[in-house]
Amino acid sequence: MSKVDDTKHVAADGQEKVPTASETGGPIILFFMIGLALSLVVGWVIFPKLLYSQKKQPIDFNHVQHMELVDDGCESCHFFRDDGSFSGAPTLAQCIDCHEEVQSDTENEIRFVEEYVQKNREVPWLVYSKQPQCVYFSHVAHVKMGNMDCVTCHGHIGESTELPVYEQNRISLYSRNIWGKNIGGFKKNTWDRMKMDDCAECHVKEGVRQASVQTGKGGCFVCHK
């Protein structure tokens, strides 16, 4: 007779001892816990490391040093154009105003002048807060009309002496700063995250009109393209 038949027979007899819950429960719970722990480690620790690639900015930039030299704070370089659009990261033309010649003997400064200024190449800055293409965002509406300061969304970047490493999401290809450093999406400060919920949170809190100025209606296309 086969082994299977033997087992059935024994079980039917009730002569052999059937394993009790306490005897099998231990290993099952153990394996459950191992699975749980591993997945928690993967999800909270390993996944974020794999998800983001780290990129260095082409030139390191010292905000503090520049802030000491300008009169108008952030807007000295990140200014509004006459048509109300926001200039964002400075273009080479602005930098050349001061950096036509090498200003100091730091390796960074020499490289900047040689690689970009002399070759008339724009610096391919990596923009931490670049929103997806489908989002309409107007700086002038927030800064000039809403009287918000830069720090509310961008944090204390203006007080940094070097640029943070740019982390790029390997799937969405956007900066980590949009989702926020915390993989769980938890935030302590207003500038920790720049997702839609964060826009909405402030808009609700401030009682911002949620409808289109032109049509008077709300909906996706008020903020999305």
Partner 1 sequence: MKIDRRSFLALSVGGTVGTALTPLPWKIQDDLAIWTQMWPWTPDPLDGENTFTHTVSTLCRGGCGVTVRKVGDRVVKIEGREDYPTNQGGVCNLCASGMQMLYGPTRIPHPIKRVGDRGAGQWARISWEEALSMVAEQLGEIRQAGQPETVACLSSRKYGSVAELLKRFLTAYGSPNFMVTPSMMDAYDMTLKRMHGVDGRMGFDLENADYVLSFGSGLIEGWGNTAYMIHTNSVWKERKATVKQIEPRLSNTAAKSDQWIPVTPGTEAILALGIAYVIIKESLYDYDFVNNFSTGFEEFRSAVLSGYSPGNVAKQTGVDQSTIVTLAREFARARRPMALCGRGQGTVPGGLGESVAVHALNALVGNINRPGGVWAMPRPAVDGWAAPALDASAQAGLAKPRLDGAGSAAFPFAEQLFNRVPEALATGSPYPLKALFVYEANPLFSTPGAAKVREAFDQIPFIVSFASHMDETAMAADLILPNHAHLERWEDVPDTSGFHQPMIGLVQPVVEPIRDTMHTGDALLRLAAALGGTMAASMPWENYKACLQEGLASRWSQLEADGFWIDNRYRPDTWSLAFPTPSGKFDFGVAGSDLKALFAPAQPEGDDGSYNLKLIPYDSVRIPNGPVGSPPFLVKIVSDTVLKGNDLFVEVNPETAKAAGFVEGDHAVLKTPLGSATVRVHLSDGLMPGLVAIPRGLGHTAFDGYLAEKGINANDLIGSVEDAASGLDAAWGILASLVKA
Instruction: Say whether residue 42 binds partner 1 (CB under 8 A).
Output: yes
- Which amino acid would we find at residue 137? F
Characterize the bridge pairing of strands 52-55 and 166-169: antiparallel
CB of 216 to partner 1, least distance (A): 26
Question: What is the C-alpha separation between 93 and 73, in angstroms, rounded?
Answer: 19
Contact 182, 45 (CB under 8 A): no
53, 175, 193 from 128: Cα distances, Å: 13, 6, 11
In this complex, which beta carbon is closest to partner 1, that of residue 62 or of residue 137? 137
Q: Which residues pair with 168 in a beta bridge?
A: 53, 175
Residues in 108-137 that interact with partner 1 by CB under 8 A: 132-134
In this complex, which beta carbon is closest to partner 1, that of residue 55 or of residue 156? 55
Residues in 172-191 that interact with partner 1 by CB under 8 A: 172-174, 179, 183-185
Helix (H, G, I), strand (E, B), or coil: what is residue 101? coil
Question: What is the C-alpha separation between 170 and 52, in angstroms, rounded?
Answer: 6
In this complex, which beta carbon is closest to partner 1, that of residue 31 or of residue 206? 31
In this complex, which beta carbon is closest to partner 1, that of residue 160 or of residue 168? 168
Instruction: Say whether residue 40 binds partner 1 (CB under 8 A).
Output: yes
Residue of 182, 120, 178 lying closest to 153 (CA atoms): 178
According to CB under 8 A, which one of 7, 8, 9, 37 is a site residue for partner 1?
Answer: 37
Q: CA-based angle 51:53:54, to the nearest 5?
A: 140
CB of 130 to partner 1, least distance (A): 9
In this complex, which beta carbon is closest to partner 1, that of residue 34 or of residue 64? 34
Instruction: Say whether residue 29 binds partner 1 (CB under 8 A).
Output: yes
Instruction: Say whether residue 10 binds partner 1 (CB under 8 A).
Output: no
Give contact residues for partner 1 (rule: CB under 8 A): 24, 26-40, 42-44, 47, 51, 81, 83, 85, 87-88, 91, 132-134, 169, 171-174, 179, 183-185
